[in-house]
């Protein structure tokens, strides 16, 4: 019983360790591409003569381009989600980092869509850098949608071990439940101590058995 419990605990611990890392596979290169696109977005014209990094500043840039609050929020989310957490996810494969990056690039991407609407009515329209930035967040968003909740081979193997260990514990539990009935202990055949009655029965049989002739002499 103790060995089965230890095995189950080890399997659960192995599953938890496996869940801390994310399986990227070939999607790693797509995330790297998203980071490269994000860097290009910072350097390319975003709106008018303003570069992409200018979207990080709310208000009017040095080039005289007015940035909206939503554009600034989208730029900062892209900075943290792609520039920081996506880069860290590619390097470490940590699940927590990937989930945070997923949340941020999702919000940043849909904020970018609002930015295009805003630029359509602003004096300075969208430039190529804005499209490149939206593409970076869109690529990262798609990749995280595919890999963030997918289980790695290590997780699948650990889950199989947990199921096997749980099956053994279930069998032990069935046997214990069969023994633990509502019958009082003195009436439970599994708990009754009948050693005295068995000894008395053996003694009575020995009295009725014929004695050996050698013993009589």
Distances from the Cα of 215 to the Cα of 12, 203, 211, angstroms = 67, 18, 7
Cα 198 from Cα 192, distance rounded (Å): 12
SS3 assignment, position 8: helix
Instruction: Show Cβ contacts of residue 36 under 8 Å, excluding neighbours closer than 6 positions.
Output: none
The DSSP letter of residue 212 is P
Give residue-wise pLDDT tens across range 120-149: 887 788 889 999 999 999 999 999 998 877
Residue 156: its pLDDT value, please?
60
Cα 202 from Cα 205, distance rounded (Å): 5
The DSSP letter of residue 126 is B
The DSSP letter of residue 192 is -
| Nearest to 141, CA basis, from 109, 97, 94 | 109
Residue 217: its pLDDT value, please?
45
Residue 67: its pLDDT value, please?
85
Give residue-wise pLDDT tens across range 107-117: 999 998 888 88
Partnered with residue 21 across adjacent β-strands are: 94
Query: Given CA atoms 180, 182, 183, 185 in this order, what sign does their dihedral have?
Result: positive
Residue 60: its pLDDT value, please?
78
Contact (CB, 8 A) for 155 and 15 = yes
Residue 89: its pLDDT value, please?
93
Residue 48: its pLDDT value, please?
81
Cβ-based neighbour number of residue 176 at 10 Å:
10
* Residue showing tokens 């003694």: 203
Cα 193 from Cα 90, distance rounded (Å): 66
Cα 59 from Cα 69, distance rounded (Å): 8
First to last CA, the chain: 56
pTM: 0.65
Low-confidence ranges of the chain (pLDDT < 70): 1-19, 151-196, 209-217
Partnered with residue 67 across adjacent β-strands are: 59
7-30: string of b/e by CB count within 10 Å (b at 16+)? bbeebbebbeebeebbbbeebbeb
């Amino acid at each position: 019983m103790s060995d089965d419990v230890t095995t189950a605990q080890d399997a659960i611990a192995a599953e938890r360790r496996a869940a801390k890392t994310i399986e990227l596979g070939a999607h790693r290169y797509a995330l790297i591409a998203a980071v490269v696109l994000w860097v290009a977005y910072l350097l390319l014209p975003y709106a008018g003569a303003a570069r992409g990094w200018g979207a990080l500043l709310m208000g009017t840039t040095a080039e005289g381009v007015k940035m909206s609050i939503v554009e600034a929020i989208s730029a900062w989310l892209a900075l943290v989600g792609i520039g920081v957490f996506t880069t860290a996810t590619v390097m470490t494969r940590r699940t927590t980092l990937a989930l945070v990056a997923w949340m941020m690039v999702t919000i940043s991407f849909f904020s970018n869509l609002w930015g295009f609407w805003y630029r359509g009515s602003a004096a300075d329209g969208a430039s190529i850098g804005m499209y490149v930035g939206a593409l970076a967040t869109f690529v990262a968003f798609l990749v995280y949608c595919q890999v963030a909740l997918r289980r790695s081979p290590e997780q699948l193997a650990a889950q199989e071990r947990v199921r096997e260990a749980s099956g053994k514990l279930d069998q032990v539990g069935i046997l214990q439940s069969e023994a633990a009935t509502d019958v009082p202990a003195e009436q439970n055949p599994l708990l009754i101590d009948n050693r005295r009655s068995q000894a008395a029965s053996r003694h009575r049989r020995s009295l009725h058995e014929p004695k050996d002739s050698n013993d009589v002499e």
